[in-house]
Amino acid sequence: MVVQAVRVNEREVLERFESRTRASARMYREASKVAPGGVMAGIKYFNPYPIFMKRAEGSRVWDVDGNEYVDYLMSYGALVLGHGHRVVKEAVESLLDTMGTTVFGTPTEAELRFGATLRDLYHPGGLMRFTNSGLEATLLSVRLARAYTGRSKVAKFEGHYHGAVDRLLFSYSPDSKRAGDPEAPTPIADSDDVDRSMLSEAVVLPFNDWENTEKILTKEGKDLACVIVEPFEEGVIPGELGFMRSLRNLTRDLKIPLIYDEVKTGFRVRLGGATEFYAITPDIACLGKIIGGGLPIGAVVGDANILAQLEPSREGKAGVFHSGTFNGNPLSVSVGMATVNALRQPGAFDILRKRTDDLKRAISSELSVRDIPHRVMGEGGMFNVYLTPNPVRCYRDITNTDLRLRRFLDLELITNGVYLKPANRYCLSTAHTAEDIRATTEKFSRSLDVLTSQAAS
């Protein structure tokens, strides 16, 4: 049962939002005639319409109406140094000068160096491959695991997202009523194109529930090609340490490749992602977002025997074919390398953590003084706020939080100059200053005051 702490006057929240974002509304109407929903990716849409941005600097973004925001979207966490960081600009400019092109279609030293850096951080002694997105990385990891084990079923956790590909697009956001027993969830397709044959090879596990995860893995083990997990659900809800250790041990015993999807957590929870946080090495880690420094990228890093299946020169031998015109393109890998190097400078990650911790504390205290039950969860440079008095350990817990209040609070925040995708997580950057955190806290407080005073009237 969802506990409602505040009854929001939705009409008034929407009126304020709409009165400040008229140019976005106009552009949205036009965009809807070009692209379904006016967006190029489903996630970018929200009700009543998405905000169209046109400029950014550091921690700030400006929309087409000229409104300024402190940005906590950070392009869904991809920008860890903020917008337009000096090293990113320099990397782009110097690349064009020195190489004279954006892409060769051949191997380059840049991809070798950055690939080695990622490999050394996430799977020393292993191998890696670049892709163009997080989704391509998770897809490749599953293909590798299927070929390696000769098994076909894929196990994932309920509520975990691994990209819009039919093999992994199930039980990400199922309707709890249809999703069956929380201890043994039913696979539910998240998209109409996912066919029955995919679902018959899908196994859904309950996150942070070892007893039942163990039961399902033991039963299905001999048919499982892999277990893929977001080590922090939604990037912020941690797998409990005992759970993560048991998962590693059992998958090793059953010879099931364990895949950490670190697309959100890589370089954000820690420099070495959840892999470093737990000191547990999966067989494969998938990376994306931050490692492109704001340009498209993905990577698969892992066990040398599993990755060796990709060797193109295995003439006559079975192998896994993987290709892509832009894989490891010089622009993405150079900007990614510059970003990772900047983040590895002494103190840089500490600043990111400190600002994030300060904002987490401030938000929690603003909610507490108004008696709004909440949980603020996350590690490193990212967190989320769940409006509930109860612990949040898995997907079903999230469905029992007050998502409606959260959504209207976030619309009110946008009206007051704090940008995040409504109901999504907060991602910070090294560009966020102490002043940004102070200003955000004030705006957060003002937004809550507006919502609660309306509720009382």
- The count of C-alpha atoms lying within 13 angstroms of the C-alpha of 318, restricted to the half-sphere facing its C-beta, is 7
Catalytic residue among 71, 261, 303, 436: 261
| DSSP class per residue in 46-78 | -SS-PPPEEEEEBTEEEETT--EEEES-HHHHT
Catalytic residue among 156, 264, 289, 443: 289
Annotated catalytic, 190?
A: no
> Token pair for residue 20?
């400040």
Count of CB atoms within 10 A of residue 391's CB? 12
CA distances from 198 to 154, 166, 192, 224, 451 (A): 9, 7, 12, 13, 45
Q: Which is nearer to ligand PMP, 119 or 162 (CB)?
A: 162
What is the closest distance, in whole angstroms, from the C-beta atom of residue 183 to ligand PMP in the complex?
24
Q: Which is nearer to ligand PMP, 142 or 352 (CB)?
A: 142
Q: Which is nearer to ligand PMP, 163 or 294 (CB)?
A: 163
What is the closest distance, in whole angstroms, from the C-beta atom of residue 328 to ligand PMP in the complex?
15
Element (H, E) at 406: helix 403-415
What is the closest distance, in whole angstroms, from the C-beta atom of residue 362 to ligand PMP in the complex?
26
CA atoms of 251 and 245, how far apart (whole Å): 10
CA distances from 258 to 201, 255, 282, 306 (A): 17, 9, 5, 11
What is the closest distance, in whole angstroms, from the C-beta atom of residue 232 to ligand PMP in the complex?
9
* Site of tokens 């892992």: 302
What one-character DSSP code corresponds to residue 201?
A: T
Beta 298-302 vs 127-131: how paired, if at all? antiparallel
Annotated catalytic, 222?
A: no
Report which residue's Cβ sits closest to ligand PMP. Answer: 134
Annotated catalytic, 175?
A: no
* Radius of gyration of the chain from its Cα atoms, rounded to whole angstroms: 22
Q: Which is nearer to ligand PMP, 189 or 228 (CB)?
A: 228
Cross-strand bridge partners of residue 203: 155
Cross-strand bridge partners of residue 56: 61
What is the closest distance, in whole angstroms, from the C-beta atom of residue 449 to ligand PMP in the complex?
33
Task: Determine the distance from the C-alpha atom of residue 397 to the mean position of all C-alpha atoms in its chain, rounded to a whole number.
Answer: 19
Of 43, 18, 330, the residue nearest 163 (C-alpha): 43
Q: Which is nearer to ligand PMP, 288 or 417 (CB)?
A: 288
CA atoms of 386 and 143, how far apart (whole Å): 35
Give counts: helices (H), strands (E), the chain.
16, 16
Q: Which is nearer to ligand PMP, 161 or 278 (CB)?
A: 161
Catalytic residue among 76, 161, 278, 395: 161
What is the closest distance, in whole angstroms, from the C-beta atom of residue 23 to ligand PMP in the complex?
27
Q: Which is nearer to ligand PMP, 408 or 419 (CB)?
A: 419
| DSSP class per residue in 432-445 | --HHHHHHHHHHHH
Applying CB under 6 A, the residues found at the interface with ligand PMP are: 76, 133-135, 138, 161-163, 230, 261, 263-264, 288, 298
Burial-class residue 24 by CB neighbours within 10 Å (0-12, 13-18, 19+): buried
What is the closest distance, in whole angstroms, from the C-beta atom of residue 123 to ligand PMP in the complex?
18
What is the closest distance, in whole angstroms, from the C-beta atom of residue 293 to ligand PMP in the complex?
14
CA atoms of 104 and 107, how far apart (whole Å): 8
The C-alpha angle 149, 155, 161, rounded to 5 degrees, equals 125
Q: Which is nearer to ligand PMP, 294 or 298 (CB)?
A: 298
- The count of C-alpha atoms lying within 13 angstroms of the C-alpha of 336, restricted to the half-sphere facing its C-beta, is 33
Which of the residues are catalytic? 161, 261, 289
